Structure 1
Amino acid sequence: MNLVLSCIIFGIGLWSFWLFASNRTYLSKLAEHNETHDQSTLVTIAVPARNEEAMIERCVRSLMQQSYANLEILVLDDNSTDHTATIVRNLQKEDARIRLITGKSLQPGWGGKIYAMQQLFKASNGKFVLFTDADTVHEPSSVSYGLGILKKTQASMLSGYPRQQAKTLGIEMLVSAMLFNPTLFVPFRFQERWQFPIFAMAIGQYLLVKREALEAFGGFISLKTEICDDVGLARLCARNGFKQVFAPLKDHVSCEMFSSFGQAWHGLERSINGVVKQGLIGFVLILAIVGVLLLLSSSPIIAVVYAVFLTLGNAHSYSLPFLFTLLGSVLLFSSWARAASYFGFSKKCGRLGLVTILLVVAMYLHGYHIRKSGRGFAWKGRILS
């Protein structure tokens, strides 16, 4: 049993080491030479904003400074109770490309953000629509870079991880849960080629989509009850023949998602649970993943236990389990640390991958309890169920 357990840990460590090495090579190559200079095509930038007075000006100003100038910048005030709309009206006076849209009251059966995105899509005119969050800041290259990758890959949708800003190490560790995808789950190179819906990944901070894809789906109508609209859109594209790709964005966009540990916890447990499909198969799959994550997070402790037994003498049966567990742990957590560095997280955060994996498990289990209790997830003053 000890040998089997250690072989599982070693196998996952090898997978993690290979997967991130493959993903890093692919993503680095994807990021090369993507600048596009043809500005004949109108691009819509669509920003849903609900009570974003602290962030919205910085975001919109960064969009105003794009090197790709053929833009319309739409900001939807989603029934805000603060000064979001006033700030955007003032910015309109500086740039005629900015248009403030007053959001309609939330319709029954729709999630709040997804309904805002549907209204933005309906109001847009661009051949491409870039949906981005109000807490993002874009480098001047952001739009041009995204268009270049879509052209290079002949894709219909592009997303990727911006550089994540965090006020504290605790928040950063929670946000670094996203490293699960490039380190343990998604082979991006093969996903681009084969477009498996289960591996389709996206993040709402940057969703650049061809209009023809959105029109084929009727916008976001089929996603109106999705908790994770971003992943839902990526999976919808993959299922319907619209190629989606995931690219590195840390040099082009940054984002401060959360201002407190509690806000990060609630936001991420909602996202983690939203990604998981409901039903018996989904439950069994996530149960298996939780078990594996717990095993991985405890692998350094298991290695120490095996080492103790070895030092006691007459316990040679622990030699291979110790070796495989130690190697598996080193491969896994070194890959996690390298992924953290590549995607712009701090070295300290990267070294605490073990703790982050435990936090992922805790967020999923707590979120699963909330979902099954029927309470739903509270976000921006609304309940998502």
Structure 2
Amino acid sequence: MSIYILGFIGLQTIALLWILFNSAFIKPFVISESSTPKPFVSVLIPMRNEERNIEELIHSLQTLSYSSFECILLDDQSSDQTRLLTERAIQNDPRFSLIEGQPLPEGWNGKVHGCHQLSQFAEGDLLLFIDADVRLAPDTIERTISTMAKHDAGMISGFPHYGDRSHLSQLLVTLQHFVVYAHLPTIIANKTKLPSFTAACGGFIAFTKEAYESIGGHASVHSSLLEDVHLARVTKKNGFKMLLVNISSHVTCYMYESIQEAIEGFTKNIFIGINKSKVIAFFLICWYTLMYIVPTPLFVYSIWSGNSMLSLPLLISIAQKVWVDYKNGTLLRYSLFMPLSALLFVFVLARSMYTSITGKAYTWKGRSYS
């Protein structure tokens, strides 16, 4: 039995070393330099039933230190008080404007259509698309401009720090960082224009206007439920550099308020994110079960048997999550629950695949998508 355990420990150690290596190629959010150009920036935010986020969102944007920006918000057919609360929050601030979203055309994803409409009103040379549940540190725009200029990028994106409003949802939400560090070869993603090797987060995407118009904007991915990744691929296909950046020090997202919301949200896009590949889904289910769920009963057995070697797979798997959480500002206590995070991941992936295979619709914010 010990030879199998040694092999298991070796596999866990290789996975840890890979994560450490991978983290070196996710670019930092660089400090703005005086020589960096100061373009006019359009901050663009689609909103649908976001009344719980409006006050904090607007306050965050009003504290931005960059002097040359506009903020355009779009109310996408909300059925709550989104519009009223937005008007009240922006009051007479000339930097802000609110537009009414048009009905969703057939074949379009709701958020994509909202971003497309926003882009038509934008006057900036740099377009920054964020979600309504995102909060920005005061110098975020300066760092965005500086990072794009330093790396000559047409598009940048990154996964934010996830604010802790629902402990259970954090177990699933913060796994987004882990999936990138564990599975995306970031040296290829950030140093080449190969479309297949990329990742992006729809909560924070910045484009130069030239790149955005050249790729056809959001209209080029109008039906996508995973528009962030598909935009990144289209950007690379059109010859522009797309960069994955660690923005967690300056961008915070309050993504879901409950575990139920998190499950519904990830069910919508996780199977699409692997191109609806049953082979990849089966591999990931087996991998996460073996690497991050199985070590728990081994650890329990190690206590009962007195064989401390059996505890190492769990400790090393937790160490992998500790490093990723440390790099992204996540509370390290969530690393201890990596087995539960993996179990949730397996459940959501299986649920997403089942929904797709059976031809059922994905539902989100009162809309259904096939």
- Give the TM-score normalised by the residue count of structure 1: 0.87
Amino acid at match of 1:14: T
Give the CA RMSD over aligned residues.
2.6
Match of 1:384 in 2: 369
Alignment of 1:1-385 (within 5 A): 3=3, 7=7, 9-27=8-26, 30-35=28-33, 38=36, 40-278=38-276, 282-301=277-296, 303=298, 327-385=312-370
Partners of 1:36 and 1:67 lie apart in 2 by 14
1:151, distance to aligned residue in structure 2 (A): 1.1
Partners of 1:308 and 1:60 lie apart in 2 by 52
Distance 1:32 1:220, change over 3 A: closer
Kept in 2: contact 1:166–1:258 (CA 8 A): no
1:35, distance to aligned residue in structure 2 (A): 4.9
1:301, distance to aligned residue in structure 2 (A): 4.6
**Which segments of 5 or more consecutive residues in structure 2 lack a partner in the other structure?**
none
Per-residue CA deviation, residues 282-322 of structure 1 (Å, 9 max, x unaligned), is 211221121111111244257459969998xxxxxxx9xx9
Per-residue CA deviation, residues 296-353 of structure 1 (Å, 9 max, x unaligned), is 1244257459969998xxxxxxx9xx96x76554333202122123212222211111
Stretch of structure 1 that moved more, 13-22 or 250-259: 13-22
Partners of 1:63 and 1:75 lie apart in 2 by 11
Partners of 2:67 and 2:147 lie apart in 1 by 18
Amino acid at match of 1:15: I
Partners of 2:289 and 2:71 lie apart in 1 by 45
Partners of 1:143 and 1:241 lie apart in 2 by 24
1:271, distance to aligned residue in structure 2 (A): 2.6
Distance 1:331 1:240, change over 3 A: farther
Per-residue CA deviation, residues 333-382 of structure 1 (Å, 9 max, x unaligned), is 20212212321222221111121111101001011112222221111110
Distance 1:22 1:65, change over 3 A: same
Amino acid at match of 1:382: R
Stretch of structure 1 that moved more, 156-165 or 291-300: 291-300
Partners of 1:300 and 1:377 lie apart in 2 by 33
1:133, distance to aligned residue in structure 2 (A): 0.6
- Give the TM-score normalised by the residue count of structure 2: 0.91
1:39, distance to aligned residue in structure 2 (A): 6.2
Per-residue CA deviation, residues 229-278 of structure 1 (Å, 9 max, x unaligned), is 11221222233322111112222111111111111111122231231213
Distance 1:194 1:13, change over 3 A: farther
1:200, distance to aligned residue in structure 2 (A): 0.9
Match of 2:196, SS state, is: helix
Partners of 2:139 and 2:150 lie apart in 1 by 16
Amino acid at match of 1:349: Y
Distance 1:224 1:169, change over 3 A: same
Match of 1:54, SS state, is: coil
Kept in 1: contact 2:180–2:199 (CA 8 A): no
Match of 2:206, SS state, is: strand
Partners of 2:214 and 2:10 lie apart in 1 by 42
Match of 1:375, SS state, is: coil
1:18, distance to aligned residue in structure 2 (A): 2.1
Aligned residues: 370
Distance 1:4 1:216, change over 3 A: farther
